[in-house]
Chains A and B, each alone.
Chain A
Amino acid sequence: MRVHIDTTRCTGHGMCEAAAEDVFEVGPDGITHLLIDPDPSQRREVEAAVAECPTRALSVEP
């Protein structure tokens, strides 16, 4: 599972952090970063984060 963060769109709302706290973290630069390469078992949380992103900055490949 590959997660892509469009750093030009991300404004660090942190909704992804709320949905998948083990995967995303908003850094001091105000944009989110991947903490880990998510495991297939985390797919549901990651997909929730992608769906909830207010700026549509996240995408996930199968």
Chain B
Amino acid sequence: MVTPGLVQADPELERGLLELLLTDHGAAGPYEGYRWLQSRAPRLRTGAGLVVLSGYRDCEAALRDRALGKADESLGFALAAVPEELRRRAMRRFRRTMLFRNPPDHGRLRRLVSQVFTPRHVEELRASVVLRVEELLDGWVGRESVDAISELALPLPVGVIGDLLGVPESDRAMAAPWVRELVAPLEPGADATAVAAAAAAEDQLADYFTALLADKRARPGEDLLSRLAHARGADVLDDDETVGTAILLFAAGFETTTNLVGNGLSALLAAPAQRARLAAETDPAKLGLAVEELLRFDAPVQTNGRTALADTRIGDLEIHAGQVVLMLLGAGNRDPAVFSDPDRLDLTRREGPPLSFGGGLHFCLGAPLARLEAAEVFPRLLTRFPELAPAGDANWRRGLSFRGLATLPLHPGPVRTQNRKDSRYLS
């Protein structure tokens, strides 16, 4: 019997899905492809048994369903032939972190660090985030052109998470390219070369963090890595989990936030009225809404995966134990059943939270920190450089799961001298 709304193994749909997952989408993004899939098969089961969800409510239900957990799904989307042994080796430690674990291990690993990322604790970081934003923007003053990615979107979150973890400033730039290689296998189109590079990058990151954690254990500080080193000493987690967690926190702390800043800025530059609204906004609640809309409009993380640990249902869709579910979060974020005129950027929208941080057990640990960084960076940037304008074409990264810019060249233009009304943290 065919489940209503579920389209199984249709060759045309499968070709369309492959194109959506494997094509470089560039500035326009994958949104037209999402709309095509959503209108034809919001619940698609491929011939190979992969369930692909593109509706908001289905994605949300799947994210919260405790029967849908973590197994090998992160390596299961791989549409290119990758030797099994290589897959196992890639992300060997990374896959032992909370990101890929189920209860009770998920909770054991998450509780170790969760307090540091709660809204209350993150609020204490606001002043240092503001300072970093202003310092980076100082570097733009008087310049003909800048790259908003390498001169703001990347160094801001790397600086914030580096401080939080206790990664020495001089090491941060070195570790960043390894992170890019490490997470590449999470792309549906990852091939054997990408997976091999990920395995090598993880080894390098592991060597680095093993040495750093030993140092923290000998000379503990107030930072998160010292906390992890202490927990390792108390046998709360094993060596691979400890190193994997250090890598995860560092990686998740910037790859995504960089793209929130870059994608958001790109969207704002294309929507002058919305940009003007945000530049003038001083109400924290409205700023918060604006950040949610930027998260929705062009999310840094476009996909998420689960494996059915037991039989379950999403609406009328039956999912059997062992089946892999791919959620197209970026498609759910543009679902017309939930968001009116979904392709329009509307910073005052109040139609429900975006799926961009995932949901359920694995809801983004760093969400409060990402929101805070975004809420501080956009208004400060737009107010300080009122004539900010593109300086040539932006260069989008390849891949679907992590959507972001490689470079975003901008003319900063003249500086506005008058201070913002809410310059609370600046004397």
* A→B interface (CB under 8 Å): 8-15, 17-18, 21, 25-31, 54-55
Contact = CB atoms under 8 A, between A and B. Distances in A.
Contact of A29 (B106, B111, B118): B111
Contacts of A28: 115
B368 A54 contact: no
Contact of A17 (B103, B111, B120): B120
Given A18-B119, A21-B119, A21-B120, A12 B359 contact: no
Of A13, A18, A28, the most chain B CB neighbours within 10 A belong to A13
Interface in B341-371: 359-361, 363, 365, 368
A27 B361 CA distance: 18
A30 B112 contact: yes
B115 A11 contact: no
Determine the main DSSP class of A at the interface with B: loop
Given A11-B106, A17-B119, A54 B111 contact: no
B117 interface: yes
A10 B106 CA distance: 11
A25 B121 CA distance: 10
B141 interface: no
Contacts of A17: 118-120
Given A11-B107, A18-B368, A25-B120, A55 B115 contact: no
A26 B118 contact: yes
A15 B362 CA distance: 12
Interface of B: 64, 103-104, 106-107, 110-115, 117-120, 359-361, 363, 365, 368
Contact of B361 (A18, A25, A31, A55): A55
Nearest to A16: B118
7 contacts: A11-B107, A12-B114, A13-B363, A14-B368, A17-B118, A25-B120, A30-B111
Contacts of B114: 11-14, 26, 30
A12 to B, nearest CB: 3
A53 to B, nearest CB: 10
Nearest to B358: A54
B111 A12 contact: yes
Contacts of B368: 14, 18
A25 B110 CA distance: 16
Contacts of B117: 14
B118 A11 contact: no
Given A12-B111, A13-B363, A26-B118, 20 more contacts: A8-B107, A9-B107, A11-B107, A11-B110, A11-B111, A11-B361, A12-B110, A12-B114, A13-B114, A14-B115, A14-B120, A17-B120, A18-B118, A21-B120, A26-B114, A29-B111, A30-B113, A30-B115, A54-B359, A55-B107
A25 B115 CA distance: 9
B220 to A, nearest CB: 15
Contact of B111 (A15, A21, A25, A31): A31
A10 B361 CA distance: 9
A8 B107 CA distance: 8
Nearest to A30: B111
B232 to A, nearest CB: 16
Contacts of A55: 107, 360-361
A21 B119 CA distance: 9
B176 to A, nearest CB: 27
* 3 nearest A-B pairs in the assembled complex, by CB-CB distance: A30-B111, A12-B114, A14-B118
Of A12, A18, A27, the most chain B CB neighbours within 10 A belong to A12
B64 to A, nearest CB: 7
Given A29-B111, A30-B110, A12 B118 contact: yes
Given A30-B111, A30-B114, A31-B111, A15 B363 contact: yes
